[in-house]
């Protein structure tokens, strides 16, 4: 029996040691062959990941775009400003109907797309739009319309899956993406705040005194790090693209600090040709609202310059890709997007390049690569490509190439989205909330421990030790899963602390009852645990079932707060069962074996000690007459 308890004690100490190590190292990277890699690098205390309300970030609300879409192609070159003015001032139809929410998007030369919030179910010519444009702007070669209906539940779920895939691949930590109502999508991006600064150094003049930047990357890195720190940048990282351009990511969004840094860089490093600052949330926004439908078409040019052409559909789209990834340009500077087709796409692409790679075809044939009706490039096929590999080149930096690769591989959104609300959650609010929550948790935990020690004495000390084990283990689980902590998670964690204490109180009260009737301390422990276990089991399992129900409803109804409480409470209750039944029991058994079992005063109040002594000293009643 004692050997079993010793083995159990070693196991408990091992678990506690692993939990302490997990919380002690802020960054964890475990790569053991044969098991999944574990990489944790949270930004909060103890390396925990903090959510939007604790860390700050971006809050975006999208709405499914409904209404009517008009594709207009003019016969001749037009005045775009006149086109816009016409759309703003025109009224259509016999009832003076105005099309609300007009959006104009240039597609290609002389081709435009007009979108409106109004559902125009009849022939668009009945409202006079085509006639007004032809008269005020110019002759129309093609006029087509299509109605964008309200999305179905299945379509919104498809949008949710697609956006989740894009944002997760982008690297945002634990985004919260959920459907709100019938046609809205809420996206919360912890940490997607701050600023992204693209800096490009100008080539120095030959007669200039300053040394050239080429070959000075280590020196520039050290100088730039010092300059940014002195200017007031916080938690920044520098990413070099090449010898003259680099990107700085930081929590700093203060324009005064950025201006000071620009002046110092110009003075101490060299002339700055580009200093572009954007919000960190802009990168994520570029992924969400884009449809990113890629098409490959066979282009036939009318002459060698290909100023006029016709495109033929060959049935090859982004759906035929198996992989898209950003990479450095192997034959030049900058970045490219490498594409790999699946079997069907490889066959079509092979046939296309075989057909248009001949010397004669190269004079008039090209491959048009078009994304969302915008031409990316139209290269000439120089050779027959059989392996289904190609690449998209352009003036891409690393972020442009990575964003394009993610968009292309994730495909078209089932429903077009429109951003209707955008807000940045200040990290200052998060730090204040976290500080207040930690203070509340520590005060509550301290009061509970003081009460347990005063009332239950040595058993209270055992409960305090078990509670420390519980808290460390739960936080380690939060970090290793990982779970992004929000106020809701902290609330569930604090609630589970109270439930963990409840289990110990049930056990200790049963022990007191057994002591009262005259049992020894060791016997009272065994009987008390045995009789308290059914109540602990039933209450905790009932709570865990409730957590699963809350988790199910919260996941489907978009209740982030509900889901957070359910997850943290479920984990807390599960660990509290182990702590009460295994850890507390094992500690009490160890105390009994070291010779404290006869000292009842260390475990029970004074009144119980007297009752116990009376029970031991009272002679057994004699038999009746």
Q: What is the CATH number of the domain that holds 203?
A: 3.30.70.260
| Domain CATH for 124 | 3.30.70
In angstroms, the CA 434 to CA 45 distance is 10
Note whether 456 and 550 are same-domain residues. yes
| Domain CATH for 41 | 1.20.1640.10
Q: Tell me, what's the pLDDT at 575?
A: 92
Q: Tell me, what's the pLDDT at 557?
A: 60
Model confidence over 120-167: pLDDT tens digits?
A: 555 444 456 777 778 778 888 888 877 777 788 777 877 787 777 667
Note whether 473 and 565 are same-domain residues. yes
Q: Tell me, what's the pLDDT at 598?
A: 60
Check: CB of residue 241 under 8 Å from CB of residue 153. no
Query: Residue 147 gets which letter from DSSP?
Result: E
Evaluated on CA atoms 107, 112, 113, 114, the torsion sign reads positive
Q: What residues pair up with 180 in beta bridges, in sequence order?
A: 184
**Average pLDDT score over the chain:** 75
In angstroms, the CA 214 to CA 304 distance is 39
Check: CB of residue 372 under 8 Å from CB of residue 293. yes
Check: CB of residue 58 under 8 Å from CB of residue 422. yes
State which H helix or E strand residue 533 sits in: helix 521-557
Q: Is residue 166 part of a domain?
A: no
What's the full length of the chain, in residues? Answer: 625
Paired tokens of 61: 């609300």
Q: Is residue 203 part of a domain?
A: yes
Based on the structure, what is the number of domains in the chain?
A: 4
pLDDT at 526 over 90: no
Note whether 20 and 74 are same-domain residues. no
In angstroms, the CA 137 to CA 131 distance is 10
Evaluated on CA atoms 459, 462, 466, 471, the torsion sign reads positive
Q: Tell me, what's the pLDDT at 615?
A: 47
Give the number of other Cβ atoms within 10 Å of residue 110's Cβ. 17
Helix 487-516 to helix 427-456 angle, to the nearest 10 degrees? 0
Q: Is residue 518 part of a domain?
A: yes
In angstroms, the CA 286 to CA 158 distance is 19
The candidate with the shortest Cα–Cα distance to 264, out of 238, 232, 239, is: 232
pLDDT at 323 over 70: yes
Note whether 229 and 124 are same-domain residues. no
pLDDT at 240 over 90: no
Which long-range CB contacts under 8 A does 591-595 form with residues at least 24 apart?
591/458, 591/462, 592/521, 592/522, 592/525, 593/2, 593/5
In angstroms, the CA 53 to CA 503 distance is 32
- Look at 365 and 132; give whichever has higher pLDDT: 365
Q: Is residue 622 part of a domain?
A: no
Check: CB of residue 324 under 8 Å from CB of residue 405. yes
Note whether 119 and 225 are same-domain residues. no
Note whether 275 and 328 are same-domain residues. no
Q: Is residue 163 part of a domain?
A: no
Burial 477-511 (b: 16+ CB within 10 A, else e): bbbbebbbbbbbbbbbbbbbbebbbbbbbbbbebb
Which pLDDT band, with edges at 50, 70 and 90, does 426 fall under? low
Sequence-distant (≥ 6) Cβ neighbours of residue 200 within 8 angstroms: 244, 245, 272, 273, 274, 275
Note whether 137 and 217 are same-domain residues. no
Which pLDDT band, with edges at 50, 70 and 90, does 271 fall under? confident
Paired tokens of 538: 């039933």
Residue with tokens 């009746």: 624
Sequence-distant (≥ 6) Cβ neighbours of residue 73 within 8 angstroms: 110, 111, 112, 140, 141, 142, 143
What is the distance of C-alpha 207 from the center of its chain? Answer: 50
The candidate with the shortest Cα–Cα distance to 434, out of 495, 360, 484, is: 484
* φ, ψ of residue 383 in degrees (nearest 5): -150, 165
Model confidence over 395-409: pLDDT tens digits?
A: 777 777 887 787 677
pLDDT at 613 over 60: no
Check: CB of residue 497 under 8 Å from CB of residue 440. no
Weakest-pLDDT range from 10-14, 190-194, 261-265, 293-297? 190-194
Note whether 471 and 597 are same-domain residues. yes
- Strand pairing category for 184-190 and 57-64: antiparallel
pLDDT at 276 over 90: no
State which H helix or E strand residue 549 sits in: helix 521-557
Average pLDDT score over residue span 315-324: 82
In angstroms, the CA 66 to CA 174 distance is 30
Q: Which of 229, 257, 283 is the last residue of a domain?
A: 283
In angstroms, the CA 601 to CA 456 distance is 10
pLDDT at 206 over 50: no
pLDDT at 427 over 70: no
Average pLDDT score over residue span 240-257: 69
Q: Which of 253, 283, 313 is the last residue of a domain?
A: 283
Quickly list H helices, 411-559: 427-456, 458-480, 487-516, 521-557
| Domain CATH for 350 | 3.30.1360.200
Paired tokens of 474: 């739960």
Check: CB of residue 242 under 8 Å from CB of residue 234. no
Q: Tell me, what's the pLDDT at 34?
A: 63
In angstroms, the CA 12 to CA 2 distance is 15
Note whether 476 and 608 are same-domain residues. yes
Average pLDDT score over residue span 454-463: 84
Q: Tell me, what's the pLDDT at 473?
A: 92
pLDDT at 97 over 60: no
Q: Which of 283, 300, 328 is the last residue of a domain?
A: 283
Q: Is residue 608 part of a domain?
A: yes
In angstroms, the CA 281 to CA 278 distance is 8
Note whether 26 and 100 are same-domain residues. no
> pTM, whole model, 2 decimals?
0.57
Which pLDDT band, with edges at 50, 70 and 90, does 283 fall under? low
Paired tokens of 616: 């031991």
In angstroms, the CA 617 to CA 180 distance is 71
Note whether 340 and 269 are same-domain residues. no
Q: Is residue 406 part of a domain?
A: yes
Average pLDDT score over residue span 451-461: 84
Q: Please tell me whether residue 466 adopts helix, strand or coil conformation.
A: helix
Whether the link from the prior residue into 41 is cis, omega within 30° of 0, is no
Query: Residue 113 gets which letter from DSSP?
Result: E
pLDDT at 289 over 70: no
End-to-end CA, the chain: 46
Range of the domain at 547: 2-30+37-55+426-617
Note whether 502 and 591 are same-domain residues. yes
């Amino acid at each position: 029996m004692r050997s079993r308890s010793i083995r159990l004690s070693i196991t408990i100490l091992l678990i506690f040691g692993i939990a302490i190590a997990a919380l002690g190292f802020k960054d964890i990277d475990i790569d053991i062959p044969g098991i999944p890699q574990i990489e944790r690098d949270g930004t909060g205390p103890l390396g925990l990941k903090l959510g939007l309300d604790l860390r700050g970030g971006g809050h975006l609300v999208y709405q499914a775009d409904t209404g009517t879409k008009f594709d207009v192609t003019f016969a001749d070159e037009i005045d775009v400003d006149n086109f816009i003015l016409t759309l703003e001032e025109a009224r259509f139809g016999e009832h003076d109907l105005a099309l609300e929410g007009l959006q104009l998007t240039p597609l290609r030369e002389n081709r435009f797309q007009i979108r409106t919030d109004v559902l125009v179910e009849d022939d668009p010519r009945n409202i006079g739009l085509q006639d007004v444009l032809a008269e005020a702007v110019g002759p129309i070669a093609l006029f087509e319309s299509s109605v964008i209906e309200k999305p179905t539940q299945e379509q919104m779920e498809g949008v949710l899956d697609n956006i989740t895939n894009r944002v997760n691949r982008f690297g945002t930590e634990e985004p919260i993406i959920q459907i709100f109502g019938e046609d809205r999508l809420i996206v919360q991006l912890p940490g997607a705040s701050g600023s992204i600064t693209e800096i490009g150094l100008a080539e120095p003049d030959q007669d200039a005194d300053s040394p050239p930047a080429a070959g000075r990357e280590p020196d520039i890195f050290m100088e730039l790090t010092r300059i940014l720190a002195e200017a007031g940048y916080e938690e920044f990282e520098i990413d070099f693209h090449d010898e003259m351009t680099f990107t700085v990511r930081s929590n700093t969004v203060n324009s005064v600090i950025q201006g000071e840094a620009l002046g110092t860089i110009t003075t101490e490093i060299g002339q700055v040709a580009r200093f572009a600052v954007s919000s960190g949330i802009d990168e994520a926004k570029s992924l969400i609202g884009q449809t990113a439908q890629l098409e490959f078409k066979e282009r036939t040019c009318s002459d060698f310059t290909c100023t006029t052409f016709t495109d033929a559909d060959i049935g090859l789209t982004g759906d035929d890709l198996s992989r898209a990834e950003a990479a450095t340009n192997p034959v030049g500077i900058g970045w490219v997007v490498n594409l790999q087709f699946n079997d069907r796409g490889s066959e079509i692409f092979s046939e296309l390049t075989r057909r248009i790679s001949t010397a004669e075809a190269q004079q008039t044939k090209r491959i048009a690569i078009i994304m969302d009706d915008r031409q990316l490039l139209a290269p000439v096929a120089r050779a027959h490509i059989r392996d289904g590999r190609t690449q998209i080149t352009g003036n891409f930096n690393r972020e442009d190439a990575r964003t394009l690769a993610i968009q292309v591989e994730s495909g078209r959104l089932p429903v077009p989205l429109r951003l209707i609300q955008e807000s940045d959650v200040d990290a200052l609010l998060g730090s204040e909330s976290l500080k207040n929550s930690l203070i509340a948790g520590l005060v509550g935990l301290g009061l509970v421990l003081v009460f347990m020690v005063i009332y239950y004495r040595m058993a209270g000390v055992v409960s305090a030790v078990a509670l420390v084990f519980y808290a460390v283990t739960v936080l380690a689980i939060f970090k290793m899963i990982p779970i992004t902590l929000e106020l809701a998670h902290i609330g569930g964690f604090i609630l589970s602390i109270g439930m963990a204490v409840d289990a110990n109180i049930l056990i200790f009260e049963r022990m007191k009852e057994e002591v009262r009737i005259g049992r020894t301390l060791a016997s009272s422990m065994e009987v008390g645990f045995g009789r308290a276990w059914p109540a602990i089991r039933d209450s905790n399992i009932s709570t865990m079932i409730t957590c699963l129900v809350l988790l199910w409803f919260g996941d489907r109804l978009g209740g982030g707060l509900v889901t957070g409480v359910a997850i943290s409470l479920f984990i807390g209750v599960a660990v509290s069962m182990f702590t009460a039944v295994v850890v507390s029991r094992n500690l009490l058994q160890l105390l009994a074996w070291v010779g404290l079992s006869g000292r009842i005063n260390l475990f029970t109040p004074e009144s119980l000690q007297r009752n116990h002594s009376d029970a031991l000293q009272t002679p057994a009643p004699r038999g009746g007459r």
